[in-house]
Amino acid sequence: MINIKKFILGAFAIGMMASCTKDLSDLNVDPNNSPSANPAQVLSSAEAFMAYTLDGQFNQRSALWAQYWTWGPGVAIGNIERYVSDGTDYDNGWSRLYNGALADLDFVEKSDAKVHAGIAKILKAYIFQSLVDHFGDVPFSEALKGASDGIFAPKYDDDQAIYDALIPLINDGIALLGSNGTVGTEDFIFQGNTDKWEKFANSLKLRILMRQSNFKDVSSDVKALISSGNFIESAGDMATMPFTGVSGSENPMYALFERSLGNFYVASGTSMNLLQDLNDPRLPKLYNLATASNSYVSIPQGGIDFEPFTNTKANYSLPTALTYGKANPVIFMSNWEVWFLRAEAAARFNTADDIASSFASAVTASFESMGLSNANDYLATLNYNNASASDKIKLIAIQKWISMNGTQEDESWIESRRMNTSSNSMFYDVNEGVFKKPLVSVLGDGVHPSIWLYPQTEMSLNGSAPAQRKLTERVFWDN
């Protein structure tokens, strides 16, 4: 396991300074004027920023909004779970991606280190997709221009237009991977393995296309991509950021929680009830038995204020070490995610992939990631092969949601929005949907957040920022 203490601590310190920025020019720093940085060091910094932002900021919020966890004893229910937000809630994540990761990647992309530059392009596409998925329209074409170009208030580009630019950006990155030069352990994700970077790039293109599929016809592009192959398929192909668990190299969510109140979340009834209904063998891998009763006990989403005042954590099921641990990696893209995307593509577009085997590969990959070997028995209970076309999509959506519990919470929240359509309301339906209204939600029945608010720093400092929106507005691909 590589030692990333130096870079993680540096990135975290920079991120904390960025969150306290008072002057707009500080948000438009030109990294190309650095007198000492080199592409290898800066790539390390960018990947560290990404990992801390994804797990410490995005996954933390989405663990609640995807209804895996809920507030537990010892604290009153917080604003996040009540669906109460203001712009300041999103300042840090935005700043760490723009002023941290993207600024670093822009420096690497413009350097003479071509292989590093190829990786930077692929990661920039990953970040900009994430920004659109959370915020909709964001700065893109004028982002990162800084003082050198005199752009201190970058315009906000149309979210669909940004998506259209991402696959060309990825293709440019893939083309550079074969350049002269080498990348080593400064690349925390793949340690310079360009074959794995290409698999990640192709898998990311598939994710982008499937998001666009709600809005336009991408069937021919998806078929061509699937036919070309070369995706993340095995655990060894996964795009992850490793952590050793020692001080300075702890999983970001774990480190942030343990330096304050610890993890005060417990099992959400939304998730646990469905796992129990399905007799899902992954239940004990995701939640511990409540020590007071030696049984599984959850709390309805957002319902801690309605639980007995005298109850303690011992009365409820807590997240396991598999989902909350100091040495857990941050997962940028998993093999089960990619197999689920391929299963959906096969079901919807009749690609070269076999529909049944792709779905089975996805569920099996999820089981194997948890140390389970009985996926075939479980798959038989789902009866996927005999399901109707619409029921196949429902099974894919639900199984993907289960597989991302404690591993890719933010991606799960995004995909639940995409796969919850007006004609197939599998997550938000008041009576039959998976997600339940938090008991003290400020939104109505069957209404859940579908976008993030713009950061307050943008509202205050960027004259090009649009008006603030509501949590129920949507990005372009969200039907």
Token pair of 137, please? 């329209």
Q: What is the pLDDT of residues 89-117, one digit of tens each?
A: 999 999 999 999 999 999 999 999 999 99
Question: To the nearest whole percent, how much of the chain has pLDDT over 90?
Answer: 85
The model's pLDDT over 420-458, given as tens digits with 9 standing for 90+, comes to 988 888 899 988 899 999 999 999 899 999 999 999 999
Averaged pLDDT, 356-371: 98
> Would you state the structure tokens that stand for residue 73, as one six-digit string?
């004893």
State which H helix or E strand residue 135 sits in: helix 114-135
Q: For residues 206-234, give the mean pLDDT.
A: 96
What pLDDT is stored for residue 36 in this prediction?
A: 59
Task: Pick the range with the lowest mean pLDDT from 35-39, 159-163, 256-260.
Answer: 35-39
Q: Own/partner pairs for 179-182, CB < 8 Å, 24+ apart?
A: 179/114, 179/115, 179/118, 180/114, 180/115, 181/113, 181/114, 181/115, 181/116, 182/115
- Residue 287's SS3 state is strand
Range 43-51 average pLDDT? 97
Grade residue 12 by pLDDT with cuts at 50, 70 and 90.
Answer: very low
Across the chain, mean pLDDT equals 91
Lowest mean pLDDT among 51-60, 194-203, 244-253, 254-263: 254-263
Identify which has the larger pLDDT, 401 or 34: 401
Using CB atoms within 10 Å of the CB of residue 399, give its burial: 0 to 12 exposed, 13 to 18 middle, 19+ buried: buried
Question: Rounded distance, CA 54 to CA 61, Å?
Answer: 10
pLDDT for residue 82 is more than 90 = yes
Q: Is the pLDDT of residue 197 over 90?
A: yes
DSSP string, 365-410: HHHHHTT---HHHHHHHHTGGGS-HHHHHHHHHHHHHHHTTTT-HH
| Ordered DSSP codes for 45-77 | HHHHHHHHHIIIIIIHHHHHHTTSEEE-TTSPP
pLDDT in tens, 256-292: 999 888 899 999 999 999 999 999 999 999 999 999 9
> What confidence tier does 147 reach under pLDDT thresholds 50, 70, 90?
low
Q: Mean pLDDT check: name the lowest of 21-35, 76-90, 166-180.
A: 21-35
